[in-house]
Amino acid sequence: MKNFPLFALMTLLGMLSAPSYAADTTTTVQSFAQASLLGIQLAVKHGRQQGKVAPAMADCVAAFKPDTFVEVFDKLVKSTLTEDEQQTTEAFFNSATGVKFTKLGLLQVYGAVGDTAPEPLPVLTDAEKADVEAFSKTPAGDKLMLKKAFEQPAAMANINQRIKELLSQCPRT
């Protein structure tokens, strides 16, 4: 499976669908969780098409629920970002630019696994690019976008552990 930039993945999924989450699940957590779910589902689907993944495994992964990665990303967000940084991140992802940026990131997941996105990639305006750049210069944006906090070994270990747990529940043949 390819290594996807998690920030790009998480940003896209928020707009593609409106899955149901617990009322206290933040937009930030939803975005990362949704992107991770899409990434693994598309990678497994692609593997099935290439004959590398058993149909039963692919069907199992396709049936994962929208909140499959919420717990792991909730812990990562809370352990990586201060309360103020979490608020800054929420404000960004709930803004019009943040929503569009999330959609862009999610749609890019399709290309990362060799699929065609279900719709054209949104194009950020100069003002929206400036908003993204401004967020990236905040302490929260620096951690998530520039330092790629959720792609660091400790975070990836948590995410990969969750993936292993999920895949262990699926039939291999």
Q: Pick from 71, 75, 91, 100: which is nearest to 141 by CA? A: 91
Q: What does the pLDDT profile of the chain (173 residues) look like in tens digits?
A: 444 444 444 443 333 444 555 657 999 999 999 999 999 999 999 999 999 999 999 999 999 999 999 999 999 999 999 999 999 999 999 999 999 999 999 999 999 888 999 999 999 999 999 999 999 999 999 999 999 999 999 999 999 999 999 999 999 88
- What is the value of pTM for the model shown? 0.83
Q: Pick from 149, 4, 164: which is nearest to 69 by CA? A: 164
* Amino acid of residue 83: E
Q: Which two tokens stand for residue 56?
A: 């039963």
Angle between helices 126-136 and 83-94 (to 10 degrees): 170
Cβ neighbours of residue 2 under 8 Å, at least 6 residues apart? 43, 112, 113
Q: Which two tokens stand for residue 17?
A: 């669908």
Q: Which two tokens stand for residue 129?
A: 């690019």
CA angle (129 as vertex; 20, 126 as ends), nearest 5: 125
Cβ neighbours of residue 113 under 8 Å, at least 6 residues apart? 2, 39, 42, 43, 45, 46
